[in-house]
Amino acid sequence: MKAGSRIRLIGYFLGFAGAVLLTALIVREGATRVLAALAEASWAVPVVAAINVPRMFSDSTAWLALVPKPNRPGFLAAAWIRWVGGSVNDLLPTARLGGDLLTARLATIRGGLPPTLAAGVAVVNMTVSVTMRILVTTGTLLLIAGVTGLAHLYLPTFAAGLAALLVVLGFYLVQRFGFFRLMTGLISRINRRFQILERALPARPNGGRWSSLTQSGSNFDDTVRGLYSRAPALLLCSLFWIFSWLAGCVETWVALFALGVHTNFIVALIIETASQSVRSVFFIIPAGLGIFEGGMVMVCGLLGISGDVALALSLIRRAREALFSIPGLIVWQFVEARRVLGRVNNQGEAVTRP
């Protein structure tokens, strides 16, 4: 069996396992109670969907802020690019990396960005978003420890958050120094000793078998350093990331209100952030199926919210996700299919041309 087939098979198996887990959760909490709560709060679905629109635009603005003005695509084009990329992050087991890579690809295809710049923006955006996610997750876990009286969790939570930030700091320093600068230096020393690249790479007209690769890597490193030098853009990206996160918390708050849980915004913030963090940890499960719902039940349980309400809350969020992310995946497939058909037609014309 080919590697691609094995990966797809694993994905299907994990998706099936997630569906089984979700079914078990619904049965455990009482399918009748979950459906009754969901029916009573059905009006929340269009409201949550409406709130998601400014959240998407905020996410697009955060990404757009990182693109230098001369290369910046239109706002609607950026929103389209981020919508499709975000759909991959929501539904496919890519640890959010797949969506960022697709965003870079679409930014090149539809946004007109040079490939090096699109890749650099993807790396910087990922670094900023991971940093912000660590900060809000650590803060949320500290809030949970305070609300539930689990004071013994303060120190390990703070230590884990600090360790995660140090890892991101190391990744940032590698980017500032130059990732390809580090790699090409190492590979060049190996090549001088064993002459591997001279045999492996095809010859270039100017004799630049290896120099063309090092030049491309150097251009990427320079692009990333240039993006990091734009402090106002980094700040703007971070602020709009926070707005997107808070919009997601408002979605949860509204859904809780519709389900009859009249609580303060801090509780909604804790539920949204903690459940999304659980989903991110188990990214290998497609769409976090069953994992997101299980995380929601666990976090809501700590806050005194019943399991049937927690499951109904997660299903309201799933409905919003289906309304936005499934069409995004379909659009992505259409884009890729058109490009494949275009290449096939061009090859056919080249063959038939006298």
* pLDDT per residue as tens, the chain (354 positions): 565 566 667 777 877 888 888 888 888 888 888 888 888 888 899 999 999 999 999 999 999 999 999 899 999 999 999 999 988 888 887 767 778 888 999 999 888 899 999 999 999 999 999 999 999 999 988 888 888 777 888 899 899 999 999 999 999 998 888 776 666 666 556 555 545 544 554 554 444 555 566 667 778 888 899 999 999 999 999 999 999 999 999 999 999 999 999 989 999 999 999 888 888 877 778 778 888 888 889 889 888 899 899 999 999 988 998 899 899 999 988 888 887 777 766 665 555 555
Residue 165 to residue 174: CA distance in whole angstroms: 14
User: What residues have CB less than 8 Å from 263, skipping those under 6 apart?
Assistant: 256
> To 5 degrees, how large is the angle CA 129–CA 295–CA 311?
120
Asked whether residue 309 is assigned to any structural domain, the reply reads yes
Asked whether residue 209 is assigned to any structural domain, the reply reads no
Asked whether residue 186 is assigned to any structural domain, the reply reads no
Render the burial of 132-149: b for 16+ CB within 10 Å, e for the rest.
bbbebbbebbebbbeeee
Count structural domains, the chain.
1
Q: Look up the domain containing 92 and give its range.
A: 3-109+241-352
Asked whether residue 149 is assigned to any structural domain, the reply reads no
Nearest partner of 243 among 90, 83, 58, 78, judged by Cα: 58
Residue 78 to residue 82: CA distance in whole angstroms: 6
**Helix, strand or coil, per DSSP, at residue 266:** helix
Asked whether residue 46 is assigned to any structural domain, the reply reads yes
Residue 238 to residue 244: CA distance in whole angstroms: 10
**Helix, strand or coil, per DSSP, at residue 94:** coil
User: What residues have CB less than 8 Å from 287, skipping those under 6 apart?
Assistant: 15, 18, 90, 91, 92, 321
Asked whether residue 102 is assigned to any structural domain, the reply reads yes
Asked whether residue 42 is assigned to any structural domain, the reply reads yes
Asked whether residue 79 is assigned to any structural domain, the reply reads yes
